[in-house]
A = this chain, B = another copy of it.
Amino acid sequence: MKSISVGLLGLGTVGSGVVKIIKNHQDKLAHELGCSINIKKVLVKDESKQRDVSIDNSKITTRANELIDDPEIDVIIEVMGGIEQTKNYLMQALHNKKHVVTANKDLIAVYGSELLATARENECDLFYEASVAGGIPIIRSLVDGLVSDRITKMMGIVNGTTNFILTKMSKFGSPYSQVLKQAQDLGFAETDPSSDVEGIDAARKMAILARLGFSMNVDLQDVRVKGISHITEDDIYYSQKLGYEMKLIGVAKRDQESIEVSVEPTLLSQDHPLANVQDEYNAVYVYGEAVGETMFYGPGAGSLPTATAIVSDLVAILKNLHLGVNGKSSVVPQHEKQLKNRGDIFAQYFLRIHVKDQVGAFAHITELFSKRGVSFEKILQLPLEGHDVAEIVIITHPCSLKDFEEILEILKFYPVVDEVKSTYRVEGL
């Protein structure tokens, strides 16, 4: 039986998973492919490190060129992370006519278009299913499964760390810092958690989804981003009281030909299917004009789930190799990118403010909103014991981001307002 040689850049958590899956599912893969898969070389940082997979010492190297310049290696699997250096390795691999599988959303969000163009020029495949939502085959579903539809909206919980933190905060009423510490101890959050908790990781994934779903060159800087580190127990308490769950939600939306992409903490109606996605799980809701609403749910990270997506990409490449059609599947974006301005972005908002406890204070505030044509769906007013201020929580009816932000700017300097505590986007059904 023919054998295909693979080079593996990286042997961390995900890399070890790839080695295990190729080993454990060899029979099934050989049946699907009519060839066996041989991991020929593995690039590591430290040759002497102990690992939880057994791999022949002679296959381990610290020199990348032993993989990317080896003419016998057909496919490079990149699971080492990083951006600039990694990009150079993959560009070189593509120039050497090697197909590439990567799980690296940072890289794809920044250099995806350039890498894909280089792949096309060299008649190579470049697949990255694992870069968004780990084990969920969402990219394949967008590219193949829903190809005949016009996708108008995607909403996703695409970062497991923040979903874990928000789930625990909601369930136990614990403060952010305590749950973050717990997530770090359990290995669900990194020592420096900023890329996750500030929403950058989710923003990268939303840029990738928007690029595919809307066929436009969406970049990371097109995504409006807010993180979760400022969310308080009070915010979560009031959300739940009003019938919502607090989630870090990525939204990519298209009206006519212009789009908006954002990642921010969002109050989701408790009936919304995404509201029940717990702990480190991910899910992506996709709305298509014809299909209506669909949802894809599964593990967003982890060694074996992510490795499943990578090896499925590898299988796709090997099938293409067998048929001699590599490098033909990627399509250049159909549309010019057109971003909505703040006046065209509509949503409902949650607003929590402290107002001085004096006659007519609330009337002043409603007047400010109603002048702009913004009305309220829900209002909750509570006196704060031992203070001479009242806490007011408002859910607005839909209004433009421009109006809302301008109202906020005025509110902050309003004499009756003690403090604007927090604001969040709200999503119903």
Measured in the bound complex, the distance between the Cα atoms of B324 and A144 in whole Å is: 18
Q: Are A297 and B297 in contact (CB under 8 A)?
A: yes
Asked if A25 CB lies within 8 Å of chain B CBs, one says yes
Q: Which of A25-69 contact B (CB under 8 A)?
A: 25, 27-29, 31-32
Q: Are A144 and B140 in contact (CB under 8 A)?
A: yes
For the complex formed, measure the closest distance between the CB of A125 and the CB atoms of chain B, giving whole angstroms.
Answer: 13
With a cutoff of 8 Å between Cβ atoms, the chain B residues found around residue A289 in the complex are: 24, 304
Which residue on B lies nearest to A332, using beta carbons?
B31
Instruction: Name the one of B292, B299, B319 contacting A298, with C-beta atoms under 8 angstroms.
Output: B292
Measured in the bound complex, the distance between the Cα atoms of B91 and A13 in whole Å is: 49
**Complex interface: stretch among A112-120, A259-267, A307-315:** A307-315
Asked if A141 CB lies within 8 Å of chain B CBs, one says yes
Q: Are A291 and B305 in contact (CB under 8 A)?
A: yes
Asked if A111 CB lies within 8 Å of chain B CBs, one says no
Q: Are A298 and B290 in contact (CB under 8 A)?
A: no
Asked if A1 CB lies within 8 Å of chain B CBs, one says no
Mask of A311-330 contacts with B, CB within 8 angstroms, 1/0: 11011100100111100110
Which residue on B lies nearest to A22, using beta carbons?
B148
Q: Are B148 and A137 in contact (CB under 8 A)?
A: no
Q: Given the interface contacts A28-B215, A140-B141, A144-B140, does A308 sit within 8 Å of B291 by beta carbon?
A: yes
For the complex formed, measure the closest distance between the CB of A281 and the CB atoms of chain B, giving whole angstroms.
Answer: 9
With a cutoff of 8 Å between Cβ atoms, the chain B residues found around residue A273 in the complex are: 276, 297
Measured in the bound complex, the distance between the Cα atoms of B145 and A31 in whole Å is: 16
Which residue on B lies nearest to A295, using beta carbons?
B297
For the complex formed, measure the closest distance between the CB of A369 and the CB atoms of chain B, giving whole angstroms.
Answer: 35
Q: Are A21 and B312 in contact (CB under 8 A)?
A: no
Q: Given the interface contacts A297-B297, A298-B291, A323-B325, does A308 sit within 8 Å of B25 by beta carbon?
A: no
Instruction: Name the one of B24, B32, B136 contacting A147, with C-beta atoms under 8 angstroms.
Output: B32
Q: Are A28 and B298 in contact (CB under 8 A)?
A: no
With a cutoff of 8 Å between Cβ atoms, the chain B residues found around residue A310 in the complex are: 148
Instruction: Name the one of B17, B32, B294, B314 contacting A290, with C-beta atoms under 8 angstroms.
Output: B17
Asked if A146 CB lies within 8 Å of chain B CBs, one says yes
Q: Given the interface contacts A129-B145, A137-B144, A141-B137, does A294 sit within 8 Å of B298 by beta carbon?
A: yes
Q: Given the interface contacts A215-B31, A308-B149, does A135 sit within 8 Å of B294 by beta carbon?
A: yes
Asked if A150 CB lies within 8 Å of chain B CBs, one says yes
Q: Are B144 and A144 in contact (CB under 8 A)?
A: yes
Asked if A367 CB lies within 8 Å of chain B CBs, one says no
Q: Are B137 and A312 in contact (CB under 8 A)?
A: no
For the complex formed, measure the closest distance between the CB of A278 and the CB atoms of chain B, giving whole angstroms.
Answer: 9
Q: Which of A333-387 contact B (CB under 8 A)?
A: 334
Asked if A296 CB lies within 8 Å of chain B CBs, one says yes
Residue in A20, A312, A331, A334 with the greatest tally of chain B CB atoms within 10 Å: A312
Asked if A293 CB lies within 8 Å of chain B CBs, one says yes
Which residue on B lies nearest to A328, using beta carbons?
B323
Q: List 26 A-B contacts (CB under 8 A).
A: A24-B150, A25-B290, A137-B141, A140-B145, A141-B141, A146-B308, A147-B312, A147-B315, A148-B308, A148-B311, A149-B308, A290-B304, A290-B307, A291-B298, A291-B304, A292-B298, A294-B297, A294-B298, A295-B295, A295-B296, A295-B297, A295-B298, A296-B297, A322-B328, A323-B325, A324-B325
Given A25-B148, A137-B144, 12 further pairs, Cβ under 8 A = A25-B149, A31-B331, A135-B288, A135-B291, A137-B146, A137-B294, A147-B315, A288-B308, A290-B307, A290-B308, A295-B297, A297-B297
In order of increasing CB-CB distance, the 6 nearest A-B pairs are A137-B145, A148-B311, A294-B298, A290-B304, A135-B291, A295-B297
